[in-house]
C-alpha cells in the first residue's frame, strides 16, 4: 500500500482534525474512543511521513486527499446521526441538582 493511501476512517478523522476538532470531539462525532482517534492519527502521520497534525493536514491538501472547499461541508453521516447541520455535537442537557 502506498504511504499516502489512507483508509476511509483515517480520511474521516483527518477531515475533522482539519476542521479544528480535538480527538475527544472527533470520538464523540464518530462514536469511537479518543484512543482510537489517536491511533488513526498516528497511522495517518506515519503514512504521510509527517510529525504533527497541522503537517498532516497540509500534506493531505497538497496530495488532494481532500480540498479546502470540502472543509465547508459536513459529511452526510454526521448530519443524519445528529439531525442538525452543526459543526459540533449539540450540548448535553445538564441535570438539575437537588438542593
Q: Which stretches of 2-93 are DSSP H helices?
A: 8-18, 23-30, 34-48, 53-62, 76-82
Q: Do 26 and 17 contact (CB within 8 A), yes or no?
A: yes
pLDDT digits (tens, 9 = 90+) for 18-51: 988 999 999 999 999 999 999 999 999 999 999 9
Q: What's the chain's average pLDDT?
A: 77
Distance CA(86)–CA(21), nearest Å, equals: 13
Q: Do 51 and 45 contact (CB within 8 A), yes or no?
A: yes
Q: Who wins on pLDDT, 91 or 45?
A: 45
* Structural domains in the chain (count): 1
91: in domain: no
Predicted TM-score (pTM) of the model is 0.67
**Boundaries of domain holding 12:** 8-81
Q: Which three cell numbers stand for residue 77?
A: 453521516
Report the CATH number at residue 22. 1.10.10.10
Amino acid at each position: 500500500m502506498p504511504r499516502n493511501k489512507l483508509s476511509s476512517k483515517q480520511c474521516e478523522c483527518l477531515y475533522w482534525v482539519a476542521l479544528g476538532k480535538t480527538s475527544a470531539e472527533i470520538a464523540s462525532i464518530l462514536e469511537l474512543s479518543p484512543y482510537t482517534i489517536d491511533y488513526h492519527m498516528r497511522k495517518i502521520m506515519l503514512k504521510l511521513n509527517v510529525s504533527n497534525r497541522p503537517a498532516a493536514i497540509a500534506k493531505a491538501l497538497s496530495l488532494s486527499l481532500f480540498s479546502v472547499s470540502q472543509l465547508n461541508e459536513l459529511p452526510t453521516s454526521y448530519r443524519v446521526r445528529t439531525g442538525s447541520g452543526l459543526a459540533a455535537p449539540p450540548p448535553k442537557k445538564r441535570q438539575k441538582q437537588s438542593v
